[in-house]
A and B are shown apart, each in its own frame.
Chain A
């Protein structure tokens, strides 16, 4: 069962949401509903299933409703309709005391502008969630220090937030979120307010932490590159509705509609797309016993200059190149076994395109894509690589 399950979550801002909800059910757009009722449909029937240990990114432009969605998960904003289930418990039905208890134990949050308490020290900030839980002072301090050390701020416990840089302040925010060991960490555009270099550092820090801690994280961003770097899965929101949910490469390779396509057009594709999404099936491979003439004829026909030669298990033995084949024919070779060169590059299925680009530059045959056992299961021709790196859509064979 999913860790966090959201179904038909809806928020209407305004005093008379009923009519707006009816129009929503009829599939009217946000603009139409605003026109007709004066009510703002911020989030419309969002369904999400978030798995344990997953870093789930909700992405959208400003006004897409992403901040509203994340605030409905811990009910900083009350949903108008729909349910939020955490470990099977209905968050939307809790009374205030039970809700506070869930917030204390199970849900922590990191904010866009850090939202640190300026009148408390870094240590007290990190310990805030524990203080609210009623944890003893000594234990609070130990655990807060522990959390601060994981974000690299162990030496600034007694500083005040305004003595720290933006990046360091957000580390404190992160430590505050980590200190309670809550099951789920909600992160509302946590790195958007930081300048690019620091943002990069923080993304790396989060990725490292996540690989060690495997928290369930719901992460909001408007930055697709950030979403692609961090997210196990990404949900794209537009005008309060879910447009697409999938892994980064899935979304880039198969955008659900023009909106998503437009969105992903300026992502750094070379970092997100991998060999697997770009490769095509191998047209034909040869075995060492084949005759040079056979191979040469085929190359001629295909206008290729080389072909892969594999053994019975489809492991690459080498490349049969046209010039070597021709000179082999002149010297009377009967099989291609002795004519092979090792002049080729291999990549694994998850190698990003950025790394393929370097390999493609000095290789006469398409890059070979192999799996864990070394079996050849596809190739990436240079033209295909260049097409994928440009913003045009790539056809995916797999």
Chain B
């Protein structure tokens, strides 16, 4: 006990908080034009997205969402879920708010992916970038989301833009990490093969590494969406419209019914977005599986179901077929 007190007395108190404030003041002073520009640009994009999602009749939108669910999963479960839950949203009168939230999520996700994937590619190809980027990503992911919101409000004032910007920063790390991981996990020999035949670095990236990292990258996109949804809801505190605002109003007014309705809305959106993006992430595999089904060989079917990497996957089934070829 005594030692701790001693340490507290001995250590100089570093004015981190004051320093940060000074930096931020300086930034808003000097780079005000930049923040105004971002505010205008991002604000414009959000407006368009919101307009697209709130102008048509809810029933048209629900039909479109259902169709998308079907295209993604090729089964009836998710489309059925979509119809029922989105109609529930509409009947609770929360559909417009849900669409406002969705607009923010989409914009934040698109921006996070547009920045995150190239960063991930860079990190995968350059050890120094990879090392430098890691602590930054850790920082971005673990800093409490309220703090982002605070900063975003300082820089961008209240409203939609700070919501999008804080979601962008909070949600981007998985896109970077999983892109880098996905590219690094591509079989080294396969990349060597492309190089050995004289492929240009760009051809190796777009023709081999990215397609093979696809599942991992899509898992990253899925996480980006889920994280930005959670951030966008919190951004209700910073004046962002949508389900977040509903929940904030409910909490401050102790309105339990409104709170539950808003909460259910968030859950519905989350499940829908997660299932749809997850299904798109699996699409590549699904296509190949159906190709395997087309071939009459049962052995190859059972193999291709659980092995996605091709590497020497099916020794067990190889013998008889191989011999039938050579004879």
Residues of B within 8 Å of A165, CB to CB, are 314-315, 317-319, 321-322
| B291–chain A nearest beta-carbon distance, Å | 6
Total chain A interface residues with beta-carbon distance under 8 A: 50
**Docked complex: A99-158 residues within 8 A CB-CB of B:** 99-105, 107-109, 111-119, 128-129, 132-133, 152-153
Residues of B within 8 Å of A132, CB to CB, are 194, 197-200, 203
Beyond A162-B288, A166-B315, whether A114 also contacts B310 by CB under 8 A is yes
Mark A329-343 against chain B: 1 for CB-CB distance below 8 A, else 0: 000000000000000
How many interface residues does chain B have, given as a range?
35 or more
Mark B179-208 against chain A: 1 for CB-CB distance below 8 A, else 0: 000000001011011111111100100011
**CB closest residue in chain A, given B284:** A119
A118 to B213, CA, bound (A): 12
**Docked complex: A180-213 residues within 8 A CB-CB of B:** 180, 186, 193-195, 197-198, 201, 205
| B292: Cβ under 8 A from any A Cβ | yes
Is B196's CB under 8 angstroms from A107's CB?
yes
Mark A208-244 against chain B: 1 for CB-CB distance below 8 A, else 0: 0000000000000000000000000000000000000
**CB closest residue in chain B, given A168:** B322
| B307: Cβ under 8 A from any A Cβ | yes
Residues of B within 8 Å of A101, CB to CB, are 198
Q: Which of A160, A176, A186, A194 has the most CB atoms of chain B within a 10 A radius of its CB?
A: A160
Mark B151-193 against chain A: 1 for CB-CB distance below 8 A, else 0: 0000000000000000000000000000000000001011011
| B91: Cβ under 8 A from any A Cβ | no
Is B198's CB under 8 angstroms from A104's CB?
yes
A386 to B318, CA, bound (A): 39
Contact of B292 among A160, A186, A198 (CB under 8 A): A160
Is B211's CB under 8 angstroms from A74's CB?
no
A368 to B41, CA, bound (A): 95
Residues of A within 8 Å of B314, CB to CB, are 162, 164-166
| A76: Cβ under 8 A from any B Cβ | yes
State the main secondary structure of chain B at its contact with A: helix
| B311: Cβ under 8 A from any A Cβ | yes
Is B300's CB under 8 angstroms from A163's CB?
yes
**Docked complex: B289-313 residues within 8 A CB-CB of A:** 291-292, 295, 297, 300, 303-304, 307-313
Is A160's CB under 8 angstroms from B312's CB?
no
A193 to B313, CA, bound (A): 11
A325 to B253, CA, bound (A): 128
| A34: Cβ under 8 A from any B Cβ | no
| B323: Cβ under 8 A from any A Cβ | yes
Residues of A within 8 Å of B208, CB to CB, are 117
Beyond A103-B196, A129-B198, whether A201 also contacts B321 by CB under 8 A is no
Residues of A within 8 Å of B321, CB to CB, are 165, 168
Beyond A119-B212, A163-B304, whether A195 also contacts B199 by CB under 8 A is no
| A60: Cβ under 8 A from any B Cβ | no
Contact of A163 among B198, B212, B295 (CB under 8 A): B295
Beyond A132-B198, A195-B319, whether A162 also contacts B307 by CB under 8 A is yes
New A-B contacts (7) at CB < 8 Å, excluding given A100-B199, A201-B326: A100-B200, A166-B322, A168-B321, A169-B310, A193-B312, A197-B319, A198-B322
Question: What are the 6 closest A-B residue pairs judged by CB atoms, nearest first?
Answer: A165-B318, A104-B198, A103-B198, A167-B322, A115-B193, A118-B310
A contact residues vs B (CB 8 Å cutoff): 71, 74, 76, 99-105, 107-109, 111-119, 128-129, 132-133, 152-153, 159-169, 171, 176, 180, 186, 193-195, 197-198, 201, 205
Q: List 6 A-B contacts (CB under 8 A).
A: A113-B189, A115-B187, A115-B189, A164-B300, A165-B318, A168-B322
